[in-house]
Amino acid sequence: MYRIGELASQCDIKADTLRFYEKHGLLAPSSRSGSGYRLYTKDDASRLRFILRAKAVGFTLNEISELLSIELDKANWACADVKGMVDNKLEQVTAKIAELTQFANSLQSLSNACCGGPDSAEHCSILEALESEDKQLSAKNETSHKGHHHAVK
C-alpha cells in the first residue's frame, strides 16, 4: 500500500496529478486509511503505469479512459477496436505533423530571406512578406542574396 506522495514520486508525477486522475475517473485508490489517506495497491500502481505509457504514445486522458474500459473488459472488445483507436490517433498525429511541417517550411523561407543583421527593420524581408500576399518566399530561396534592401555586412 502506497500513500499518494509515495506513488507519485515513484512514478515521477505530483500528488496533485493523481488526485486529478481520480477526479476524472482514470484511477481511484483501492482504499483509504482510517484517517482518510488514499492507499494505492500494486494493481493501482500498474494501472497508473498503463496510463502513463498511453500518455507517452500521445493519447489524451479521455482516450486513455476508453482504453482503460476496454482493458477491463477485454473479452467484449475486438482487436479491431483497439487497433482502430491506435490508427485513429496515428492519423491525427500525422495530420498535426503535416501542419507543423508546413509552418516549419514557411518559417525557414522567411528566415532565409532575412539578413538578421543589426540594421533597421524598415526593409526587412520577413515583415514585407507578412505585409503583402504577393511577396511570397519560396522554400528553395536559400541561395538568394537574402532579399534585403540594405547591405549585408
Partner DNA sequence: CTTGACCTTAGATTAAACTCCAAGGTTTAT
Partner DNA sequence: ATAAACCTTGGAGTTTAATCTAAGGTCAAG
Question: Which of 41, 86, 141, 144 is the binder for its own copies (CB under 8 A)?
Answer: 86
User: Which grid coordinates belong to 24?
Assistant: 476524472
Judged on CB neighbours under 10 Å (0-12, 13-18, 19+), 28 is middle
Q: Check residue 124 for interaction with Zn ion (CB under 5 A).
A: yes
C-alpha span between 111 and 146 (Å, rounded): 9
Closest separation in Å from C-beta 152 to its own copies: 10
x-or-dash string of contact with Zn ion, 63-102, rule CB under 5 A: ----------------x-----------------------
**For its own copies, the closer CB: 9 or 88:** 88
**For its own copies, the closer CB: 32 or 83:** 83
x-or-dash string of contact with its own copies, 94-123, rule CB under 8 A: x-xx--xx-xx-xxx-xx--xxxxxxxxx-
User: Which grid coordinates belong to 55?
Assistant: 500518455
Q: Check residue 34 for interaction with DNA (CB under 7 A).
A: yes
DSSP 34: T
C-alpha span between 26 and 19 (Å, rounded): 10
User: Which grid coordinates belong to 28?
Assistant: 481511484
C-alpha span between 84 and 80 (Å, rounded): 6
Query: Considering CB distances under 5 to 8 angstroms, the limit depending on partner class, which of Zn ion, DNA, its own copies, none binds residue 77?
Result: its own copies
In contact, 71 and 54? CB cutoff 8 Å: no
Query: Which residues bind to DNA, rule: CB under 7 A?
Result: 3-6, 13-17, 19-20, 32-38, 55, 60-62
